[in-house]
């Protein structure tokens, strides 16, 4: 798989990473441990060198899983994890106090079975802690050798600029896909100006852009999509028009809708690295194949023209979760 560099940081990663959250958290029952390890190692065998986790995924169990899976080839991969929630639990709210950041770093190093965190993100901006203090704490961790690069997630433009002034931000991780394009308005120009890489999470619209979900789909009771307005039955039915456009392009390119959605992201900027997640080997292989698809200017225009006539229905987060983004 081709490599990309996240902005001006010099951090080189595979063009597609692997988002590991769903193996332990968020999308129904956790994957059986040995199956999850097998999937993570299969990703590495297919050229993926960029793996994303967080203390909040579980909490804690996803980091431990990743640490065990990647231990045999630790020096050949880039591991990203995150701090920023009280006790690692998002419902308890944000906590990016300097002492907490240090606690999370030390605990994560043990769980990940490593001596450094390649990319350490603030999971969400904490309104009670100046972003300059957060950046300064990570800067200290970098000088101590515990962390290599600093990242932000779902931060607004003002926070990005303030943090970057204290410690260069290597990457911003926020949602971006064919059905959530808000970052194009303000965030992408700021990242380009400052030389910051972009790591889109949910690049497949939490599964919707694969075409495998429709108005009749039911989710496990522990699947967080049950709380997402965009995934109401009514909105799934309305948003099917977007999938129809992608499926048409996919048929012309002898590809799958998921591959077109990922290839579209890769074509936007050379410093964009999506991190699709999956629990299935065949989906992993499908996603990896997206890195080999070249979309022509005509393809991109067709996608753009098709999307311009569709208004996506439903908010991407519950009201409570929405309060924690774009700070």
Residues marked active site are found at 57
The length of the chain is 327
Question: What DSSP assignment string belongs to 187-200?
Answer: HHHHHHHHT-EEEE
- Contact between residue 136 and residue 99 where contact means Cβ atoms under 8 Å apart: no
Can you read off the two tokens belonging to residue 33?
């441990």
Write down the residue that tokens 């045999």 correspond to.
72
What 3-state class would DSSP assign to 149? strand
Strands 78-83, 18-19: pairing is: unpaired
Strands 50-52, 78-83: pairing is: parallel
- Contact between residue 279 and residue 23 where contact means Cβ atoms under 8 Å apart: yes
Ramachandran assignment for 245, one of left (phi > 0), alpha (psi -120 to 50 degrees), beta (any other): alpha
What 3-state class would DSSP assign to 262? helix
**Nearest alpha carbon to residue 16 among 211, 278, 252:** 278
Can you read off the two tokens belonging to residue 209?
């852009």
**Nearest alpha carbon to residue 122 among 167, 146, 152:** 152
**Nearest alpha carbon to residue 244 among 198, 194, 200, 309:** 309
DSSP 59: T
Write down the residue that tokens 């380009």 correspond to.
192
């Amino acid at each position: 798989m081709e490599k990309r560099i996240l902005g001006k940081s010099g951090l080189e990663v595979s063009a597609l990473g692997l988002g590991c959250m769903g193996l332990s958290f968020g999308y129904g029952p956790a994957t059986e441990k040995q199956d999850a390890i097998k999937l993570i190692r299969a990703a590495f065998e297919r050229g993926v060198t960029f793996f994303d986790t967080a203390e909040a995924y579980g909490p804690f169990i996803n980091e431990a899983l990743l640490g065990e899976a990647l231990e045999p080839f630790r020096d050949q991969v880039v591991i990203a994890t995150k701090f920023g929630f009280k006790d690692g639990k998002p419902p308890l709210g944000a906590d990016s106090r300097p002492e907490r950041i240090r606690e999370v770093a030390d605990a994560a190093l043990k769980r990940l079975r490593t001596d450094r965190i390649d990319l350490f993100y603030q999971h969400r901006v904490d309104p009670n802690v100046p972003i300059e203090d957060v950046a300064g704490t990570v800067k200290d961790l970098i000088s101590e050798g515990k962390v290599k690069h600093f990242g932000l997630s779902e931060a607004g433009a003002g926070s990005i600029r303030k943090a970057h002034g204290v410690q260069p931000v290597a990457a911003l991780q926020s949602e971006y896909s064919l059905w959530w394009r808000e970052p194009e308005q303000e965030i992408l120009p700021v990242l380009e100006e400052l030389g910051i890489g972009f790591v889109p999470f949910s690049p497949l619209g939490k599964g919707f852009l694969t075409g495998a979900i429709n108005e009749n789909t039911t989710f496990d009771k522990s699947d967080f999509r049950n709380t997402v307005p965009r995934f109401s039955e009514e909105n799934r039915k309305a948003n099917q028009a977007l999938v129809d456009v992608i499926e048409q392009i996919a048929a012309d390119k002898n590809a799958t809708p998921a591959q077109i959605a990922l290839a579209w992201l890769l074509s936007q900027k050379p410093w964009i690295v999506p991190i699709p997640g999956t629990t299935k080997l065949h989906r992993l292989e499908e996603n990896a194949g997206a890195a080999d698809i070249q979309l022509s200017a005509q393809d991109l225009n067709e996608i753009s023209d098709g999307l311009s006539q569709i208004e996506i229905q439903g908010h991407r987060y519950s009201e409570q979760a929405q309060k924690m983004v774009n700070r």
